[in-house]
């Protein structure tokens, strides 16, 4: 099977993730969309690894997973804290930096 | 050359007086005028002493020099602050200190009611000191210091009554127009330094032979501009009439007898430059000829007695400049006319001051008339000055002016005929306007107001007038007896080519001149003595009279040609600065501010729009790379 199909799927997933980040307000959903984009990137890495016939891409994918895991921990902690203090998980409500 | 240590006292005495009176302030009010007069007189005493010493020496030993200090000492360029008293400068020294002292004496009485009399005397002393430095300096640079000094003193004294805005303006006008001339002098010094490497008179005289004629012509023209500025010669003559705003003794001393003759001194002193630059010399003659007619024509139309005399001064100095431009044959006659003019014009100005003193400062001659009976001494002294300026034998002007006319005729060819005719015509016009002044002031019917009480001036005022009148009578005869002055000045001027051709014999010239003078007097008599004079200047006069009343449009000319374009230039420059320079800077600022406030809208605090922007940026980047790679 042609490896470029995986890249198309990766692009599709990334687009879905990106659109989700931009259009959704719920912090949890935005967070999941980010995960989706990261995994789309992972899929690309693995595909390139396959195409090139070496392991660089696979190694990169592991790094991404580790970083993503850490990010999930920190991100969820922030979201939970925001929800506790503001009774809302909407990203638009947390626009205090402007003022 | 003889050296002396006493030359410096000539300058130091009046300078100390000026410093003492200016720094001493009101404390010196009571005796300041006496001190100033005494110092001026003692300076005259030093001058007389120097003259007697000079007379006792042989011709070669006569010039006296004194080195004061090393002034400028840079590499190969050395200028000493030195003084030089030779046959030429002693004439000026005695004129300045002599007439100056007389005018100090006159001013004691004339200015007695002025609460600033002390300041007036301080300025007079400052003037004497600066003028002496001008004529005693042994280099163009020392001369320049004196030159600027007299400019300053003249400015201070013209604007002495500066509470009147018109007078303050007159002093500024004189100062600014003098600056134009001063620029010429500084350029001349620069040319001398650049081409000859020296600025001393002796050095320049020595180098003149080895210097290109072009450089000397340039230097000569610049010196001429300088002389024109200080001596109120065409085209820088416009300030002299307004300079009459100063107190009358100032007009007599500075703007008639001494300072305005500085230009004649400069040209005579620079004879080695002009003798080697015929073009510049020709220009000197032309300027002199133009000015002598210019001043004479203005003089015919003026009703202000001081302005009429000022126009006459301009014209008489035109004679001197013309004579100085005729080369070695003319220098001595220029100086002779300068000396005799110093006597009779100072005398007449003091006479005018005396008339004003008796007439409550009225200057309009149409409001005078019949003053002969009320001011007999003023009339007599003024009348003697009048006869002297006309050139009636045996008065002073006869000797000096006739010599100039004769020399002009003998200048050779067409030039001689033109110059001779101009000087003759000038003599006729001089006779006309001076007779007019005499008739309007002293004879005819009285035209003054009821409340004017004309009276003779006190003896402190008429005594100087009387002494000057004696000078007006005798100086010409004494100076020309056995060619005394010509022989005295002879060693200074190069007489390598004697003009032997005589177009007209002296006796013929005298006859012609006297005929012209008689014609001028006759016209004035017919016009002003046979018919009544209106006490208000008539308005329905010919266009020529109108032009002459406005000083031959000199102010309008200056305004149109220099002042208006200058204003346009400055307003254009200001506008350019405003629009182009400031505009550019402001536009840069506005762009920064505008783009800042436009971009500020992006910082809305919403995370999602930031994310969208990042996404857009990434897409744009990828698209750009894609386009480039494709």
Where are the domains positioned within chain B?
277-548, 559-629
Cβ-based contacts under 8 A for chains A and B: 28
Q: How far is B597 from chain A (nearest CA, A)?
A: 14
User: With bands split at pLDDT 50, 70 and 90, how would you rate the model's confidence at B420?
Assistant: confident
Q: What is the mean pLDDT of residues B559-582?
A: 91
Q: What is the mean pLDDT of residues B324-345?
A: 88
Cα B50 to Cα A24, B63, B68, distances in angstroms: 112, 10, 18
Residue of B607, B612, B620 to mutate, interface with A, max A Cβ within 10 Å: B607
Q: What percent of chain B stands above pLDDT 70?
A: 98
Place of tokens 């991404």: A64
Backbone angles phi, psi at A28, to 5 degrees: -65, -45
Residue of B605, B617, B626 to mutate, interface with A, max A Cβ within 10 Å: B605
Distance between CA atoms of residues B336 and B100, nearest Å: 18
Nearest-by-Cβ selection for A92 from B603, B608, B615: B608
From B39-43, B386-390, B602-606, the region with the lowest mean pLDDT: B602-606
Residue B494 DSSP symbol: -
pLDDT given for residue A29 in this prediction? 92
CB contact at 8 A, B457 and B357:
yes
User: With bands split at pLDDT 50, 70 and 90, how would you rate the model's confidence at B448?
Assistant: confident
The answer to whether the Cβ–Cβ distance between A91 and B605 falls below 8 Å is no
The answer to whether the Cβ–Cβ distance between A95 and B607 falls below 8 Å is yes
User: With bands split at pLDDT 50, 70 and 90, how would you rate the model's confidence at B503?
Assistant: low
At B523-557, the pLDDT tens digits run 888 888 777 777 777 777 777 777 777 777 788 88
Contacts of B497 by beta carbon, 8 Å cutoff, 6+ apart? B328
Scanning B580-609 for CB atoms below 8 A from A yields 603-608
The answer to whether the Cβ–Cβ distance between A22 and B611 falls below 8 Å is yes
pLDDT given for residue A38 in this prediction? 93
Q: Which residues of A touch B (CB under 8 A)?
A: 18, 21-23, 25, 30, 91-92, 94-99
Q: How far is B594 from chain A (nearest CA, A)?
A: 20
CB contact at 8 A, B362 and B304:
no
Nearest CA in chain B to A26: B608
- String of DSSP letters for B536-565: S--SS--HHHHHHHTGGGHHHHHIIIIIHH
- The whole-chain average pLDDT of chain B stands at 86
List chain B residues with CB under 8 Å of A30.
608
- String of DSSP letters for B48-100: HHHHHHHHTS-GGG--EEEEEEEEEEETTEEEEEEEEE-HHHHHHHHHHHHHH
Whether residue A70 is predicted with pLDDT greater than 70 in this model: the reply is: yes
pLDDT given for residue B2 in this prediction? 80
Q: What is the mean pLDDT of residues B597-615?
A: 86
From B217-221, B348-352, B387-391, B507-511, the region with the lowest mean pLDDT: B507-511
pLDDT given for residue A98 in this prediction? 65
Nearest CA in chain A to B601: A98
User: With bands split at pLDDT 50, 70 and 90, how would you rate the model's confidence at B591?
Assistant: very high
Whether residue B496 is predicted with pLDDT greater than 80 in this model: the reply is: no
List chain B residues with CB under 8 Å of A92.
606-608
List chain A residues with CB under 8 Å of B606.
91-92, 95
CB contact at 8 A, A48 and A22:
no
pTM: 0.79
Nearest-by-Cβ selection for B612 from A22, A91, A92: A22
Residue of A16, A17, A21, A24 to mutate, interface with B, max B Cβ within 10 Å: A21
Q: What percent of chain B stands above pLDDT 90?
A: 23
pLDDT given for residue A7 in this prediction? 92
Residue of B602, B606, B616 to mutate, interface with A, max A Cβ within 10 Å: B606
């Amino acid at each position: 099977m042609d490896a470029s199909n995986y890249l198309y799927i990766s692009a599709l997933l990334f687009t879905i993730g990106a659109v989700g980040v931009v259009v959704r307000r719920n912090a949890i959903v935005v967070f999941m969309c980010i995960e989706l984009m990261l995994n789309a990137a992972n899929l690309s890495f693995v595909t390139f690894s396959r195409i090139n016939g070496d392991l660089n891409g696979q190694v990169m994918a592991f790094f991404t997973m580790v970083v993503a895991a850490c990010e999930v921990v920190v991100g969820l902690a922030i979201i939970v804290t925001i929800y506790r203090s503001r009774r809302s998980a909407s990203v638009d409500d947390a626009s205090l930096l402007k003022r | 050359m003889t050296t002396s240590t006493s030359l410096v006292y000539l300058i130091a005495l009046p300078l100390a007086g000026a410093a003492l009176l200016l720094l001493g302030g009101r404390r010196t009010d009571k005796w300041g005028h006496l001190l100033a007069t005494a110092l001026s007189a003692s300076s005259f005493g030093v001058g007389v002493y120097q003259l007697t010493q000079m007379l006792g020496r042989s011709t070669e030993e006569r010039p006296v020099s004194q080195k004061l200090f090393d002034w400028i000492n840079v590499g190969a360029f050395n200028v000493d602050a030195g003084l030089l008293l030779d046959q030429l400068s002693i004439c000026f020294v005695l004129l300045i200190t002599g007439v100056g002292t007389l005018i100090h004496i006159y001013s004691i009485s004339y200015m007695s009611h002025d609460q600033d009399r002390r300041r007036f005397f301080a300025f007079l002393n400052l003037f004497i000191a600066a003028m002496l430095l001008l004529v005693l300096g042994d280099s163009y640079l020392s001369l320049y210091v004196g030159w600027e000094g007299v400019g300053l003193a003249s400015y201070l004294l013209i604007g002495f009554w500066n509470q009147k805005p018109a007078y303050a303006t007159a002093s500024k006008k004189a100062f600014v127009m003098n600056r134009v001339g001063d620029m010429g002098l500084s350029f001349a010094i620069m040319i001398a330094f650049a081409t000859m490497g020296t600025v001393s008179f002796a050095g320049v005289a020595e180098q003149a032979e080895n210097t290109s004629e072009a450089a000397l012509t340039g230097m000569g023209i610049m010196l001429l501009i300088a002389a024109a500025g200080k001596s109120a010669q065409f085209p820088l003559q416009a300030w002299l009439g307004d300079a009459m705003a100063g107190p009358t003794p100032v007009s007599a001393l500075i703007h008639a007898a001494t300072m305005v003759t500085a230009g004649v001194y400069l040209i005579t002193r620079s004879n080695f430059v002009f003798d080697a630059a015929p073009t510049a010399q020709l220009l000197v003659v032309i300027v002199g000829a133009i000015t002598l007619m210019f001043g004479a024509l203005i003089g015919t139309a003026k009703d202000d007695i001081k302005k009429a005399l000022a126009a006459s001064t301009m014209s008489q100095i035109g004679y001197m400049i013309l004579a100085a431009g005729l080369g070695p044959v003319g220098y001595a006659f220029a100086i002779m006319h300068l000396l005799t003019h110093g006597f009779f014009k100072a005398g007449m100005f003091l006479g005018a001051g005396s008339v004003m003193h008796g007439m409550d400062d009225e200057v309009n001659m149409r409001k005078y008339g019949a003053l002969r009976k009320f001011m007999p001494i003023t009339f007599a002294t003024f009348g003697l000055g009048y006869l002297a300026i006309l050139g009636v034998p045996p008065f002073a002007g006869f000797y000096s002016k006739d010599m100039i006319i004769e020399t002009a005729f003998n200048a050779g060819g067409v030039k001689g005929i033109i110059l001779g005719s101009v000087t003759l015509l000038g003599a006729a016009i001089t006779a006309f306007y001076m007779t007019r002044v005499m008739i309007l002031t002293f004879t005819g019917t009285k035209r003054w107001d009821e409340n004017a009480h004309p009276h003779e001036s006190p003896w402190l005022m008429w005594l100087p007038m009387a002494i000057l009148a004696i000078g007006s009578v005798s100086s010409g005869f004494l100076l020309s007896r056995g060619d005394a002055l010509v022989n005295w000045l002879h060693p200074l001027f190069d007489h390598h080519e004697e003009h032997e051709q005589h177009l007209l014999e002296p006796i013929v010239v005298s006859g012609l001149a006297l005929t012209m003078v008689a014609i001028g007097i006759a016209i004035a008599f017919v016009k002003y003595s046979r018919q009544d004079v209106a006490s208000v200047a008539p308005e329905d006069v010919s266009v020529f009279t109108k032009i002459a009343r406005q000083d031959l449009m000199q102010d309008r000319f200056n305004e149109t040609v220099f002042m208006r374009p200058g204003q346009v230039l400055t307003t254009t420059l200001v506008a350019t600065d405003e629009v182009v320079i400031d505009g550019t800077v402001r536009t840069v600022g506005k762009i920064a501010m505008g783009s800042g406030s436009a971009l500020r809208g992006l910082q809305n605090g919403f995370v999602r729009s930031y994310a969208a922007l990042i996404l857009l940026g990434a897409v744009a980047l990828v698209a750009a790379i894609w386009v480039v790679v494709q």
